[in-house]
Amino acid sequence: MPFTLKQFGILTEKTLLFLFIMKKDGQVIAFNNRCKVLFPNECDRIKGRYITDFVIDEDVPIFIKTISKLSLETPIVNESFTFPLSKTGVLSLKFDFTLHNDLVYVTGIDTTEEYKEHRALITISKLTKTGAWYFDVMNQEMYWTKGCYLIKELDPDTPMTRDLGASFYPKESRDRVENYLSTLIQNKEPYEYTEKIITHKGNEKWIKVVAQPVIYRNEVVYVNGTIADITDRHNYVEKLKYNEETKHLALKGIQSGLFDHFIDKKEVFYSEAFKKMLGLPLDTHIVPEQEFREMIHPDDIDKALKKHKNNLEKDGNHYHNQYRLRGKKGKYRFYEVHGFKRKNEKGETVRMVGNLIDVHQKKLSKKTIEESKKRLIAMVNNGMDYIILLNTKGEILMADEDSLKIIKRDFDVDPTGSTSLFIDVMPVNFKPSFADNFNEALKGNTIKKEIERVTHNGTNQWLETKYIPILDDASKVDSVLITFHDITEEKLAELAIKQAHIKEHELSELKSNILSNLSHEIRTPLNGIIAISTLLQTEENPEERIKLTEYLKESQDRLFDTLNTLGGFSEIESIQKNLNYSELDINYVVETSFREYRHLANAKKLEYTLDLDESCPQASIDENLFNTALNNIIHNAIKYTIDGSVQVKIKTKRSKKNIYIYIIDTGIGIDKDNYQKIFDPFVQESIGFSRKYEGTGMGLSLSKRYIEILGGSIKVKSKLGKGTEFIIIIPKCV
């Protein structure tokens, strides 16, 4: 039976429901008296206003979204909204919206208490990163609160299913998680678990899930549960576990035992590891200090006790000692003690906590290393090489004693006391090749080179250098060994052998020259004498006989000259003993030799000149010996000049001690390589039967020897094809 108007009026005014009629845009048309509590100060002016003017700000967009859902297909929707009240705080209403003839009829019920609990739950969820969920077993429906969505980093509007909820777990744990819920439904027993998930955004989290069954008629109809983000706690626990494991492994790895020493009571509490290390009874927690001291090696006890006393008395909290202790098998091992001291108000140490560390193997290894190092250094220092070991930066790691002495002496640097780059303390002539050789060694290549250097006392030294890469266990270069082997003796021997070969070759050439020249110079005039003598016997023409006689005289003179020159070499020692020195005018002596060869120069139509010194320099010489030397040089100048000039001049202006006699020609010249050879006996630039000019090749050699006997010297300047300048230098009379 429908309500009468009176009944309906009483119902609307006496009910606890909140009733509204409004337009689709939320404008209020009518409301019952119950609604006055929502706007007590504006009741007369509420009509024509919008409901959104009275709800809290965060509910305005929710209201607009809810109203927009109303349509002919969806004529009824519901949503909760909160109204602020001046006296009682907030009022939360759950509205049912019904669309009819373009008007919206609204009924609301007070859900303030539920709202407060809901807000509190939301706040707690945010603070504790938790969410609530339930599963409808009959309908297989899953529901999540916002907290669950936040933890999974998923849009709250996403419809939730059991499969979607399981998809956040890694594949390896997904079946196990699914089985939790299935087992609960079957056994009706609650469960909880901790698992890892991968959120919608790909982040890794750890969650704790708790589930409680709701039973009706001995069947599970609902499952209520919570989910909590415990990532921070899980990471912290894992870190603690890791730290504890690390500490445990560290103590185990260094064979360490913990102890707690009460100084005043002279009692020491030892950890189980400590007692196992020393073979002490495991059921004994306290060991008297005296008993521990008896375990110390007799040779170490006095030093250990003295250091123990000093450690307790000194400032600071750190304690350190070391000694040998008798172990469980009665053998002594090396140990180090590290501790932290606690002091009283007087500054006295009353307690010490620390650990005993087994360093026996370390000590033995160190001893072995020291012994090996001593042997290595002994080998290095007693070897024949200079040895330098560099790291990959080029810094000196080790060097033999001789190398260290050289570096200290030349650079005032001690590589054993400070870091030193080898390039900063090496001889200058090592540097150009060092960088390239060192870099090649760093690539794993062995380099071998020879270097010549000048030592500090001015002698030359030859060294054979080797750059040898040293590889680590990973076959990477971690250092470079450089050796310098002294090969000076081998080099000198090698040079001596080369010089001997050269000298042997020169002597062989000299022998050939002597035989060739003497054969030519003696045979030619002899042949002339024999031939001319034969012709004279048959020649009847007086004029021809005169000419033949002149030719015979020339051959005779030439033969005598050759024999005299040879005699000059054999008589040098007797000449030195029978010199006749006298002070002579050099202008006069030189002019005498100059006149002697004028006819030869005129015969070749050469410009032949003499330039005397105006100061008329005097020299103490043997005139015959000097003239012989000068004559040879002038004769050679004319002989080797085809055309041009031969000039002889004397100069003393530029020297107070010496007289300079120049013989300058425009002849064939001398090659630079033959400057010294021309003064060797029996040597000419052209030799053998193919030579262009006659002579024994002994003239210049004799001239040089004679001038040197007189205390002078001869120099030569020449240019091939342009001419030659000989300079005779003799001391002036002072």
Task: Clarify whether residues 726 and 605 are in a common domain.
Answer: yes
297 is a domain residue: yes
Backbone angles phi, psi at 304, to 5 degrees: -65, -40
pLDDT tens digits along 404-451? 888 888 888 888 778 888 888 877 777 778 888 888 888 888 888 887
Domain total for the chain? 6
H helix and E strand count, the chain: 20, 28
The DSSP code for 689 is: G
Amino acid (1-letter code) at residue 676:
Q
d(CA 483, CA 448): 10
The reported pLDDT for the residue numbered 574 is 53
The reported pLDDT for the residue numbered 726 is 92
Contact 92, 112 (CB under 8 A): yes
**CATH number of the CATH domain containing 341:** 3.30.450.20
Task: Name residue 718's beta-bridge partners.
Answer: 724
Q: Looking at the predicted structure, is the pLDDT value of residue 518 above 70?
A: no
Going by C-alpha positions, the residue among 578, 682, 684 that lies closest to residue 625 is 578
The reported pLDDT for the residue numbered 389 is 84
Q: Looking at the predicted structure, is the pLDDT value of residue 729 above 60?
A: yes
Task: Clarify whether residues 68 and 153 are in a common domain.
Answer: no
In the structure encoding, which two tokens stand for residue 673, read together?
């390589």
Contact 67, 51 (CB under 8 A): no
pLDDT tens digits along 551-606? 677 667 656 666 665 554 445 555 665 678 889 999 999 998 899 888 888 988 99
Task: Clarify whether residues 209 and 324 are in a common domain.
Answer: no
Task: Clarify whether residues 356 and 450 are in a common domain.
Answer: no
- pLDDT confidence bin for 139, thresholds 50/70/90: confident
The beta strands (E) that lie in 111-203 are given as 130-136, 141-144, 191-198
Task: Clarify whether residues 225 and 191 are in a common domain.
Answer: yes
Amino acid (1-letter code) at residue 144:
W
The reported pLDDT for the residue numbered 590 is 92
Contact 661, 728 (CB under 8 A): yes
Helix (H, G, I), strand (E, B) or coil at 493: helix
- Domain range spanning residue 45? 5-112
Cβ-based neighbour number of residue 89 at 10 Å: 9
Last residue of a domain, one of 183, 204, 236: 236
The reported pLDDT for the residue numbered 697 is 45
Task: Clarify whether residues 104 and 146 are in a common domain.
Answer: no
Contact 132, 119 (CB under 8 A): no
Task: Clarify whether residues 533 and 667 are in a common domain.
Answer: no
501 is a domain residue: no
Cα→Cα distances 296→290, 305, 423, Å: 10, 10, 51
d(CA 292, CA 289): 5
d(CA 387, CA 550): 81
Task: Clarify whether residues 726 and 583 are in a common domain.
Answer: yes
Going by C-alpha positions, the residue among 278, 283, 259 that lies closest to residue 324 is 278
Q: In what order do the strands lie in the sheet with 645-651?
A: 607-611, 645-651, 658-665, 723-731, 713-719
Helix (H, G, I), strand (E, B) or coil at 128: helix
- Tokens 């009910």 -> residue: 15
d(CA 106, CA 26): 11
- pLDDT confidence bin for 500, thresholds 50/70/90: low
Q: How far apart are the first and last CA of the chain?
A: 169
Q: Looking at the predicted structure, is the pLDDT value of residue 396 above 80?
A: yes
Q: In what order do the strands lie in the sheet with 477-486?
A: 396-399, 385-391, 477-486, 460-471, 447-454
Q: Looking at the predicted structure, is the pLDDT value of residue 491 above 90?
A: no
Task: Clarify whether residues 469 and 515 are in a common domain.
Answer: no
664 or 703, which is more confident?
A: 664
- pLDDT confidence bin for 650, thresholds 50/70/90: very high
433 is a domain residue: yes
The reported pLDDT for the residue numbered 609 is 94
Backbone angles phi, psi at 691, to 5 degrees: -70, 155
- Burial status of residue 58 (CB atoms within 10 A of its CB: 0-12, 13-18, 19 or more): exposed
Buried b / exposed e over 152-169, threshold 16 CB at 10 Å, is bebeeeeebeeeebeebb
14 is a domain residue: yes
15 is a domain residue: yes
Task: Clarify whether residues 693 and 589 are in a common domain.
Answer: yes
559 is a domain residue: no
Going by C-alpha positions, the residue among 126, 129, 155 that lies closest to residue 229 is 129
d(CA 104, CA 98): 5
DSSP states of 513-563 as a string? Answer: HHHHHHHHHHHHHHHHHHHHHHHHHH---HHHHHHHHHHHHHHHHHHHHHH
1 or 2, which is more confident?
A: 2
Length of the chain: 734
Q: Looking at the predicted structure, is the pLDDT value of residue 343 above 60?
A: yes
Work out the average pLDDT over 119-142: 72
Backbone angles phi, psi at 142, to 5 degrees: -115, 135
pLDDT tens digits along 603-644? 889 999 999 998 889 999 988 888 888 988 998 899 889 899
The CA dihedral of 631, 634, 637, 640, to the nearest 10 degrees, is -40
480 is a domain residue: yes
Which residues, other chains included, contact 196 with Cβ-Cβ below 8 Å and sequence gap of 6+? 169, 170, 173, 204, 205, 206, 207
In the structure encoding, which two tokens stand for residue 119, read together?
């807000």
Q: What share of the chain is helix, strand, coil (3-state, %, to 5)?
A: 45, 30, 25
pTM of the model: 0.30
Work out the average pLDDT over 448-472: 79
472 or 183, which is more confident?
A: 183
- Tokens 């062995």 -> residue: 446
In the structure encoding, which two tokens stand for residue 96, read together?
């049912």
Backbone angles phi, psi at 217, to 5 degrees: 55, 45
Task: Clarify whether residues 583 and 710 are in a common domain.
Answer: yes
Task: Clarify whether residues 225 and 268 are in a common domain.
Answer: no
Which residues, other chains included, contact 280 with Cβ-Cβ below 8 Å and sequence gap of 6+? 270, 274, 287
The DSSP code for 690 is: G
712 is a domain residue: yes
- Tokens 């589930």 -> residue: 211
